[in-house]
């Protein structure tokens, strides 16, 4: 991959440069000292990936991410000195389309690669995310699910936290359906994401533990790097399979399992994101007779996953973000036999 580096500290930029050039599959496209330089560099020479710092003079990483994703969209990985010290900036940048975040590696001796395993693993995952369109294996068929009558299954990636917040903020108090979210995000961010989303919503939000059941009026979020599935017994569980699938956790894997195991009305929603994850699963839901919704291009921070769904004919409704909650409320308010595409 050709990678752009954005960091105002020369020592940090040099460390990142050394890590990249030490990996034969990667090369440095350019180095920018702040957000303004990064925006100009992307316009001049768009890389395969940008490693973006958060706190910089002149223009920070949040604003630089917003401008890059608006003018010259490309994958952005936030690489900063302390994610914990910049939580709000991380979520804001993800809302503009950044894919993930990682602490900058700490140099050890003369070996630039040893402390960089996490960073290199995230770069490799993003490379697969952008370039891989494989479909996961579906789970086996199962008996009827017990629990709330209606399930809303949501998938999102880049730009997803802000998009999910926008949907949740428009859902009424006492929303009767269970909600489950698969968001591409590092597991260590999930508790913070759940807390942040709960502030935007009028319903409880929490990470999903293995063995949890979907609950009416509650949003459960996939919380590990394994895939979340709905089991034959109606529980949520985590599985490493398919191991080779690049999207972790995968929206497709959850949608496929929900299509097989949920026996009440089921609504699938695919929001902003890079890549193709969720498109095939949304198509499976539509073919099974469930209502499916994809976010439209104009309101998507990254029009990748919804675009793939639209190309497959997987979405019965393609809607701007501001109308998705109203559509869900309308659909769930109908008799169950009328909740159809």
Rounded to an integer, what distance in angstroms lies between the CA atom of residue 253 and that of residue 245? 10
Catalytic pick from 26, 34, 53, 157? 157
pLDDT for 245 equals 82
The dotted CATH code for 2-131 is: 3.40.50.2300
What is the pLDDT at residue 127?
Answer: 83
pLDDT in tens, 231-262: 988 899 999 988 888 888 999 999 999 999 99
- In this structure, whether the domain defined by 151-338 belongs to CATH 3.40.50.11540 is answered with no
CA-to-CA distance for 34 and 52, rounded, in angstroms? 9
* 38/61 Cα distance (integer angstroms): 9
pLDDT over 50 (residue 340): no
SS3 221: strand
Q: Please say if 277 is a catalytic residue.
A: yes
267 has pLDDT over 90: yes
CA 206/CA 212 separation, integer angstroms: 11
- Catalytic residue from among 26, 53, 100, 184: 184
- Give the model confidence (pLDDT) of 286-302 as tens digits: 999 999 999 999 999 99
Task: Report the distance separating Cα 46 and Cα 43, nearest Å.
Answer: 6
Out of 34, 277, 299, 300, which one is annotated catalytic? 277
Confirm whether 261 is a catalytic residue.
no
Same fold, 2-131 and 151-338: yes
Q: In the chain, where are the structural domains located?
A: 2-131, 151-338
Q: Residue 44: exposed, middle, or buried by beta-carbon count in 10 A (0-12, 13-18, 19+)?
A: exposed
250 catalytic residue (yes or no)? no
| Cα distance from N-terminal residue to C-terminal residue, the chain | 41
- Helix/strand/coil percentages in the chain, nearest 5: 40, 20, 40
């Amino acid at each position: 991959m050709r990678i752009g580096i954005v960091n105002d500290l020369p020592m940090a930029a040099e460390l990142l440069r050394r890590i990249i050039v030490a990996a034969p599959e990667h090369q440095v496209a350019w180095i920018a000292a702040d957000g303004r330089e990064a925006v100009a560099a992307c316009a001049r020479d768009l890389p395969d990936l940008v490693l973006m710092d958060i706190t910089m003079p002149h223009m920070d990483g949040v604003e630089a991410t917003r401008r890059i994703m608006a003018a010259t969209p490309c994958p952005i990985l936030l690489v900063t000195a302390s994610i914990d010290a910049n939580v709000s900036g991380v979520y804001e940048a993800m809302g503009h389309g950044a894919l993930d975040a990682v602490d900058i590696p700490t140099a050890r001796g003369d070996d630039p690669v040893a402390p960089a395993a996490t960073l290199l693993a995230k770069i490799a995952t993003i490379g697969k995310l952008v370039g891989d369109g494989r479909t996961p294996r579906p789970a086996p068929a199962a008996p009827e699910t017990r629990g709330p009558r209606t399930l809303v299954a949501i998938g999102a990636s880049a730009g997803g936290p802000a998009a999910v917040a926008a949907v949740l903020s428009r859902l009424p108090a006492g929303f009767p359906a269970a909600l489950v979210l698969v968001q591409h995000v590092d597991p260590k961010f999930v508790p913070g994401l759940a807390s942040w989303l709960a502030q935007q919503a009028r319903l409880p939000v929490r990470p999903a533990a293995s063995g949890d059941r979907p609950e009416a009026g509650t949003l459960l979020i996939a919380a590990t790097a394994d895939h979340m599935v709905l089991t034959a017994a109606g529980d949520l569980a985590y599985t490493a399979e398919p191991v080779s699938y690049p999207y972790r956790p995968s929206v497709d894997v959850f949608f496929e399992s929900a299509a097989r195991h949920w026996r009440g009305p089921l609504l699938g929603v695919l929001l902003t994101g890079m890549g193709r994850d969720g498109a095939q699963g949304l198509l499976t839901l539509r073919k099974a007779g469930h209502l499916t919704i994809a976010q439209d291009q104009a309101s998507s921070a990254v029009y990748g996953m919804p675009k793939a769904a639209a190309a497959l004919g997987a979405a019965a409704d393609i809607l701007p973000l501001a109308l998705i909650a109203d559509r869900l409320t309308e659909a769930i308010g109908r008799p169950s036999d009328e909740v159809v595409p």
